[in-house]
Structure 1
Amino acid sequence: MRNRSPSSSRRLMLRALLGAAALPAPFAAMAGFNFFTSEYTASRQELEAQIAKHFPVQKRYADIFTVSLSNPQLGLDGERNRAAITAALTISSPLLRPSTVQGIVSVSSALKYDAPARALRLDQPQAERLELQGVTGRDAERLQQIGAVVAQELLRDQPLRTFTAEELTVGRKTYEIGAITVQNDAITVELK
């Protein structure tokens, strides 16, 4: 019989107590998952990295304007349980002089879970702030309306975090996502 170190004996006992034989090998790599409290916490940095993969985005409006969003920054509002994306905005059209207007847009949104896609998504985003550079008066008002409508359309159902089937499965148990809680520096979802 081999002698085991005290630390390896403790690990074996812990695995036996927790049923860790069923746990996937890269359990330590799933640091955001806490199966003891039945929740997953995604940090702002993790979410921003996921969001950045989907940008830049653009859309034509009325076959005259092209609205583009780039360089997204994530804001989290724990009090209102909402997430916000602030992005650089570009509106281009041959009717504009100059032909491109730059600005910033902030869109606030509730969150929802899309079970078939295993994705945490923006739900009914609303433009809360839109600032344009170098445009004033009625032109600015019209462009702000166009920018707000298109930004909301571009960000509707935008995924913040997509889970793999393997991430939501431990042993024979497959977890579903429940309640979503926005904190000031992270988003926590219930695992049920």
Structure 2
Amino acid sequence: MARVIAVIAAALLALAVAAYLFYSGKEYTVKIPEAEIQQNLAKGLPVSKSYLTIFELTLDNPRVDLVEDSGRIVAGMDVALRIDATDDKRVFRGSVDISGLPHYVPATGEFHLQDLKIDRLSLEGLPDKQTERTRMVIEAALKEYYRRHPIYTLKATDIRQLAARLTLRRVSVEGDDLIIVLGI
């Protein structure tokens, strides 16, 4: 019985070494269309959340624009903001555009946006005295949203994508596609 277990263990070890040698040094390219990123970001929207007990923020209708040679992904959303600090509980509607860098998490095979910058924020009728605090709340909300919602997840059914999960080699934009090169 011990001999059978030893033979099976040796065979599995040999198979693992062969797989590593086969995939070692190879690159695998994943081409993600802009529309697929937008579709992934739309999952679970609209989302509403309260911040600092006075702000209620709703995010909806994501937009994605891949900009060649920038390395950053430009994304936008429609925003509805209710401020409960005064007796006037109006809802301010508008949009926000951000840009961020794709970040790869090998353990989950997910790509998230990080290093977010608000490029444009427009809320109709928002008083000037509320602008800076509102900007901070929206930035915090977007960081949380993009941390929880990947722009892309490698497919667990694709053996090449599974094998290439270890190392991100480079990310670029070509036309309307995000090009991700992975390797071991």
1:110 aligns with 2:101: yes
Query: Normalized against structure 2, the TM-score is what?
Result: 0.73
Tell me, what secondary structure is at the counterpart of 1:159? coil
Contact 2:60 2:77 in 1 (8 A): yes
In structure 2, distance between residues paired with 1:37 and 1:115:
15
In structure 1, distance between residues paired with 2:44 and 2:108:
16
Tell me, what secondary structure is at the counterpart of 2:130? helix
Q: Percent identity?
A: 21
Contact 1:81 1:183 in 2 (8 A): no
1:175 aligns with 2:160: no
Q: What 5-or-longer segments of structure 2 have no aligned partner?
A: 1-25
1:158 aligns with 2:149: yes
Return the offset for 1:52.
Answer: 1.0
Alignment correspondent of 1:26: none
The structure whose RCO (Cα within 8 Å, separation 6+) is larger is 2
Partner letter of residue 62 of structure 2?
A: P
CA-atom RMSD, angstroms? 2.3
In structure 2, distance between residues paired with 1:111 and 1:76:
11
In structure 2, distance between residues paired with 1:56 and 1:189:
28
| Paired residues for 1:32-181 under 5 Å | 38-95=28-85, 97-156=88-147, 158-167=149-158, 169-170=159-160, 174-176=163-165, 178=168, 179-181=170-172
In structure 1, distance between residues paired with 2:30 and 2:36:
12
Return the offset for 1:63.
Answer: 1.6
In structure 2, distance between residues paired with 1:183 and 1:57:
31
Aligned pairs, number: 154
Q: What 5-or-longer segments of structure 1 have no aligned partner?
A: 1-35
Return the offset for 1:37.
Answer: 7.1
Structure 1 window deviating more from structure 2 (109-118 vs 178-187): it is 178-187
Return the offset for 1:53.
Answer: 1.0
Return the offset for 1:166.
Answer: 1.4
Tell me, what secondary structure is at the counterpart of 2:134? helix
In structure 1, distance between residues paired with 2:79 and 2:60:
7
Return the offset for 1:81.
Answer: 0.6
Tell me, what secondary structure is at the counterpart of 2:151? strand
Query: Normalized against structure 1, the TM-score is what?
Result: 0.70
